[in-house]
Amino acid sequence: MSTTTGAAAARAEQRVLGALLAMQRKSWEQGVTGQALLDLGLHDLAEVVARDAVLLGTAEGRLAEVEGPTSAVNTGAVGEVVRWAADRTGDPELHRAVDGLVRWIAQDAPRADDGTVFHLLGERTVWVDTVYMTVPLLVLAGRTDEAARQLDGHARRLRDEATGLYAHIWDEDAGAPARAAHWGTGNGWVAAALARARHLLSDAGADGDPFGRRAEEQVRELVDACLAHRRPDGLFHDVLDDPGTFVEASTAQMLAYAALTGVADGWLPPRYADVGHDLLATARARVDRLGVVEGVCGAPRFDRPGRSAEAQAFHLLAVAAARRVAAA
């Protein structure tokens, strides 16, 4: 990359960050924002994110709670940055907060008979998104047994053995999918979750953990399964295998993060770096003059193209992973 090109990319990344920090964020978006700040080395900002998440905590242990009594697990995404801030500062309030969050996710949140956590309060449904909200936090807390149980429970209900892709939502009472569509962002959540969890194991010096080996295999399988549906323009349909659905860039960024993380950490072959860089470049071309990544799976309902804080954060997570590849 030339100096001129590198400077232009750096300016674009600063715009993406500025737009992210200006956006309203729900609990999971606060979580991926905190993770992006950690990965970019913006530690003071990360601590602000963590402390604000604790400020908006509930008696049950959920953090960054601005959604009201609806989501059971989205709060789990913020656990990493709160744990990091607790260790950084030694603040007992932050330590209590992350302990309470782990207890909620691992024990108290509503769940099926086999322990698989339900995504929403008051509704017995299992969502693909939950893999990201639970698995990395449980690995971070040293609960790889529970992380494996959550991954297995979600895979049994949602993973299509024929394609390797995940469906979106399972209705536990009906014993059948509530939405069988292979949602691109949902599959991105799983790939990113397992890459994040594997990275956390490396940080903890636990590369030999059996869960880590499983994560490596499943990231590779899922990234490959998704890439089979990549369009000639480098993007994906909202439902990966349904060309009648809209085209969006969220999936590309999430897969870029997973692929580049695997290469940077040494558990994906180097050729995945080219894949990750190309996916990120495709998304970078959609950053507008305000720093907004346009044409992603859009908030607030994520059922049409638009913009979202989670997409902004994943752009930056992919950027940080690309930097780690370059430094390796």
* DSSP symbols for 223-276: HHHHHTT--TTS-EESBTT-TTSPEESHHHHHHHHHHHHHHHHTSS-THHHHHH
Residue 5 has a pLDDT of 65
Q: Residue type for 106, please?
A: A
Distance CA 14, CA 293 (A): 12
Q: Specify the length of the chain in residues.
A: 328
Residue 83 CA, chain-centre distance (Å), reads 17
Is beta strand 247-248 parallel, antiparallel or unpaired with respect to 176-179?
unpaired
Distance CA 183, CA 195 (A): 19
Give every residue of the chain whose pLDDT is below 50, as ranges.
Answer: none
Q: Residue type for 147, please?
A: A
Residue 1 has a pLDDT of 56
Residue 53 has a pLDDT of 98
Residue 10 has a pLDDT of 86
DSSP H stretches of helix in the chain: 3-22, 27-39, 43-55, 79-89, 92-103, 130-140, 144-158, 184-203, 210-227, 250-265, 271-284, 309-327
Q: Do residues 136 and 192 make contact, with C-beta atoms less than 8 angstroms apart?
A: no
Angle subtended by helix axes 271-284 and 210-227, to nearest 10: 60
Distance CA 264, CA 33 (A): 21
- Domain boundaries, given as residue ranges, for the chain: 12-323
CATH 1.50.10.10 is the classification of domain 12-323: yes
Residue 3 has a pLDDT of 52
Q: Do residues 326 and 320 make contact, with C-beta atoms less than 8 angstroms apart?
A: no
